[in-house]
Structure 1
């Protein structure tokens, strides 16, 4: 029986993402033929592409890089698959892994397939069932407790003992993101320069802790990369977007998570289109309370917090600048990307405020 494809495929960008016939043929070979077949692009997210896939009675998700040239080491979806596959039987909640493919004849890139998880990813607002103050507080604790679960996994117990080189991770992060920025600047400085980012990078290089804890790290752990179950009490059921995961310094993960968690006293968001603000309301845990919870759970002290928080914003600025380059080169239709012309300088200013102590924990 011919598979029924309901998705509109005459959109040029969608056709760059999916060769429908090649995908169908691949799935038939790997999973067996099915009559129901549908694929559509999920618009959320601004890095790797997410596609919702129906294959027979199964609701699946495909993750693949954006089309076009990407910075070295960015968009590594097979790395994402590997760590999720390793964590299947651990306390860390991850979707069920299904397939990984490195044959570029199928979609023109590496990609993987996982099961779709039902629940809520919290971006602009929270469901009404989380409106009471107890649920608000628990929502933040669920987020930080799951981060603690990630950091408490023994890498050797799940086959990830060679997943990265933990010693020197923090300094390498500064160097790596500096290189990502340099890649973006090759193109973006034709439009405008961001000299404050170079100042921030120099400070980070001079102040990177040389002695740090060593654990599995997620690399992009934040509120909209997790999902809460469709139940009355906040219950975190899935962690997504593992492409940056490795062995390294867990405090970098905490700093990244905190860079997205706002307190009522904070200045206006540097990227209002991306930054969630509902946790500024009464009842939500403050950043300091989340740090205290994390320290209690893990026994790891959040020392050098200015460094880790500034590093997080520096990395976010580098991502934004890479997005801006992709926009300038015509390799994305994401409406967020052109906004980075102004948003990245605002992020640079925020990182400088953190370094100077003007945006405290």
Structure 2
């Protein structure tokens, strides 16, 4: 049996403070009681949204709010996430239930939501010592990840009242232009000449190779292992977290986002340095095997999948560039962000290799 890591919660000195008495007053006005005798604690891990364990009406719950500082357009959308979590649980039990949304920044300085608390362990770049090197564990986790995505994409949006979520028509073209724009903004004044040239090359390739949208499905839009809570004994999935980028669109893009974090043993350094998933460990399926399992289950054609892969890999690279800029501007003191510019550039180079057909 595995135990949650001791650093599940941030140390008090590293915790981003919130206006807890003001929150308690706001919730009391709605007939809810925030217990401040049990001080809220900030969860460790993650690079963006701020998450706190609170006690509300005698029960544990999670408060989520965006990070501080300027935010990229369309990112960290609490209202969109709450729309999903207040409904999706009915057909997709791994989605925690949304409990309350506040869109007024006056309460704690930003919109926030309160979400059902689920217990479990979260894994990122390595497997715990008892499991490391066990090929059976790698094979099981790899299959679990793709099967969760398959189950999500089988949900009819209309069956949970999400048939109007997002704008699926033109999704891939908008995503292409949106990530090209974000890339340009992220490196403006901060990027190296190599980074700038890579963005120009990838932007040209994506515009030349954009494919039509498939029938839309519900997308998580940032699905990877550390967004899944696992049972510490069986490693069965207990919850899927972080739905603030959720929408409707081409399911192959969701798959490509997962694979943009899926490191294989022979990948270049940047894929290993981003340290997102332990998929280079023994037993994990390859990216191609994952894609083929997904396609077989849902009857999807992978003939245009290279486009989705390039777009998703560039997206992940840009996210690392954006986080590096936050560090350069002094908006975060997290020392991990210092190397993200270099890693982002390496991920852009990997996206170019995908576009050239050198890797899957």
Q: Do they superpose with TM above 0.5?
A: yes
Counterpart for residue 322 of structure 2: 322
For residues 196-251 of structure 1, give each alpha carbon's deviation from its aligned partner in whole angstroms, at most 9, with x where no partner exists: 1221122111111124232111111111111112232x311111111111111100
- Given that 1:80 and 1:245 are in contact with CA atoms closer than 8 Å, whether structure 2 keeps it comes out as yes
Change in CA separation of 1:90 and 1:131 when aligned onto 2, cut-off 3 Å: farther
Task: Verify: 1:237 aligned to 2:238, yes or no.
Answer: yes
- Given that 2:171 and 2:213 are in contact with CA atoms closer than 8 Å, whether structure 1 keeps it comes out as no
For residues 120-156 of structure 1, give each alpha carbon's deviation from its aligned partner in whole angstroms, at most 9, with x where no partner exists: 1111333436864434322111111110111111111
Counterpart for residue 73 of structure 1: 74
Change in CA separation of 1:20 and 1:258 when aligned onto 2, cut-off 3 Å: same
CA RMSD of aligned residues (A): 2.4
Q: Judge which range, 248-257 or 44-53, deviates more.
A: 44-53
- Given that 2:180 and 2:199 are in contact with CA atoms closer than 8 Å, whether structure 1 keeps it comes out as no
TM, length-normalised to structure 2:
0.89
Give ranges in structure 1 of 5+ residues lacking alignment: 1-6
For residues 267-292 of structure 1, give each alpha carbon's deviation from its aligned partner in whole angstroms, at most 9, with x where no partner exists: 3334614333x332332222222122
Change in CA separation of 1:265 and 1:344 when aligned onto 2, cut-off 3 Å: closer
Cα offset, 1:43, TM superposition: 2.6
SS in 2 for 1:269: helix
- Given that 1:188 and 1:324 are in contact with CA atoms closer than 8 Å, whether structure 2 keeps it comes out as no
SS in 1 for 2:106: helix
Change in CA separation of 1:279 and 1:317 when aligned onto 2, cut-off 3 Å: closer
Change in CA separation of 1:151 and 1:47 when aligned onto 2, cut-off 3 Å: same
Counterpart for residue 3 of structure 1: none
Give ranges in structure 2 of 5+ residues lacking alignment: 1-9
Q: Judge which range, 319-328 or 161-170, deviates more.
A: 319-328
Distance between the aligned counterparts of 2:339 and 2:194, measured in 1?
A: 13
- Given that 1:37 and 1:56 are in contact with CA atoms closer than 8 Å, whether structure 2 keeps it comes out as no
Map residues 1-361 of structure 1 onto 2, 5 A cutoff: 14-15=16-17, 18-30=18-30, 31-32=32-33, 34=35, 36-55=37-56, 57-127=58-128, 128=130, 132-189=134-191, 194-232=196-234, 234-270=235-271, 272-276=273-277, 278-358=278-358, 360-361=359-360
Distance between the aligned counterparts of 2:194 and 2:134, measured in 1?
A: 45
